[in-house]
Structure 1
């Protein structure tokens, strides 16, 4: 999977290769293959759960000890005299383990995240961080995106980007500028970072993650530009995983939320919309209640909060939130959002 896709929309993507890893091995021997399977399965659990520290969970130790049991296929490759073992783990088996061990599950429909970065060095001062000037750093970020299962995109920084996101706005982490500059990329989330060299061997960074109408600020410190950049992306992945992960044993009470989708003009539209909603890990059931003309009404059973459900639904670019018109007031008060009188309204594109 290529995490860096220039000048392409950074909308949510279904990631099919969360269960595939490549491990460097010294030989084709059975012992080296078993050791690689343990390491590889640990990486898969980090991707699938969204928990960066999951491999230290004592509940996972017996599973990792039997990692080869969950290998679906493997093959060897070599590059620059280094032998690699490519492993594919059984997605169904891994997901069942996540459920049995009551670990969080981060569904594979994940928010495309657009990353803007500015740097201030002792030697050259302040500038926008671009791929042409820092190819090794962006290569590391690409690798980290694959490890965490977070689709990252970077602006091309052409004249349009430079006009819409001037250096001053980027350094100030101007959210309105980020919104305007991101129109061409259509990101689900935006990550803005300013990375400052404070001494010959020390760096600090301030990060701002913008997603779902909310902002999350966090800092990072380290001994290199690469370290504080990687820490920023790691923390962004942590925050997004916390937002979307489904946790076994959550105390939330399951409730029905009504969703009305306009623009269903064919059986293909109907199939695509219902298949998407019924396949959401955050939704235990999606029942069709009515089809009237081009309008489809469904009842979604979920235990997650309504705002989280709206974030999940927004990850599908075919679902566009409809304007809040025609809402029904009951005895002077607006009916609860997602109720029969006031369903979540979307249009299908």
Structure 2
């Protein structure tokens, strides 16, 4: 997974010059949801079959966002016949350990998710920037970086891969340490997170502070900031690595709850809305906007009603509420919410947002 500014910068002047070149952590289409690597003791048929079943369960966790999905009674028969979902496999040896690389069929998995009416977490997911500080018995309190603790951050990245959550870590160079002083990080200062995040433009920010209570007792407090909301949760464990991984896991749980949609026959209330997209200046914009809306998991149908100059107006049917639909639309950096214009008011009150008189308004970039 891509890292931001893998190497620290020696001088603040160079850091400032390179700041504009930092790749932003933003909503990304996660392409490797269906790829799994399992450690196996041998190339035998039984060991391979066991690994294929474990790997498929991990894929369903990523796709649904539900860590307990493997215990769902209706999914258990599928896990016992996991080879039907397998596209390919290969072996690899690394450091005297045998690994089995497994690739599952996205269509087969998605079809089963829909048929069983399981939640579906679309693969366009919030890029999440992770800040972490620790207070240890020997070293005291410090902000942690990927360069200082590569094994810890490898564990964090491994958990993020398991959950299908795209994460990035700040460089913790002079620019970051100035924007996010240790005191602000430990206090989980949301304003400092906003200022420091300008450099990376994350969709979500995860801030953690971990405290070593004894040689084998740790506790951590986590704060996930996303979409104008903040969610706090705690973690306990026997090591820094354990409470840090719980932070990634908890953030993925919260984001999955926000973006996952129910699939299959009974999808809940259908919300009919009108959505207007401006800034459609080329044919590629036209086809891109239509394809995006029609492919959005939170939208069951999108019908083009009218095209006027640079504006398209759609009638859409959403399977989620208005706020959750706006959350999903906000993940597409080619869309920006437009200012509400004065609606046509024929009844003496303001027409509801999403109605024909007061549509949802976005601009395509």
TM-score by length of 1: 0.95
Residue 336 of structure 2 corresponds to 320
- Which of 37, 42, 60 is 2:52 aligned to? 37
* Structure 2 counterparts to residues 214-253 of structure 1, below 5 A: 214-248=229-263, 252-253=268-269
Q: Contact conserved, 1:23 with 1:84, CA < 8 A, in 2?
A: yes
* More divergent stretch after superposition (110-119 vs 318-327): 318-327
- Asked if 1:262 corresponds to 2:278, the answer is yes
TM-score by length of 2: 0.91
TM-aligned CA distance change 1:328 to 1:198, over 3 Å: farther
TM-aligned CA distance change 1:190 to 1:328, over 3 Å: farther
Residue 302 of structure 2 corresponds to 286
Q: What SS is found at the alignment partner of 2:75?
A: helix
Query: What value does the CA root-mean-square deviation take over the aligned residues?
Result: 1.5
Q: What SS is found at the alignment partner of 1:284?
A: strand
Q: What SS is found at the alignment partner of 2:328?
A: helix
- Asked if 1:97 corresponds to 2:136, the answer is no
Residue 204 of structure 1 corresponds to 219
Residue 330 of structure 1 deviates from its aligned partner by: 4.8
Number of equivalent positions:
348
* More divergent stretch after superposition (245-254 vs 8-17): 245-254
TM-aligned CA distance change 1:329 to 1:89, over 3 Å: same
TM-aligned CA distance change 1:320 to 1:42, over 3 Å: same
Residue 251 of structure 1 deviates from its aligned partner by: 6.2
CA–CA distance in 2 between the matches of 1:166 and 1:327? 46
Residue 102 of structure 1 deviates from its aligned partner by: 2.0
CA–CA distance in 2 between the matches of 1:126 and 1:65? 48
5+ residue gaps in structure 1? none
Residue 77 of structure 1 deviates from its aligned partner by: 1.7
Residue 326 of structure 1 deviates from its aligned partner by: 3.5
5+ residue gaps in structure 2? 6-21
Residue 303 of structure 1 deviates from its aligned partner by: 2.2
Q: What SS is found at the alignment partner of 1:58?
A: coil
Residue 169 of structure 1 deviates from its aligned partner by: 1.4
Q: Contact conserved, 2:4 with 2:171, CA < 8 A, in 1?
A: no
Residue 141 of structure 1 corresponds to 156
1:142-191 CA distance string (max 9 Å, x none): 11111000000111122221222111111111111111211121111111
Residue 227 of structure 1 deviates from its aligned partner by: 0.9
Residue 59 of structure 1 corresponds to 74
- Asked if 1:109 corresponds to 2:109, the answer is no
CA–CA distance in 1 between the matches of 2:43 and 2:30? 29
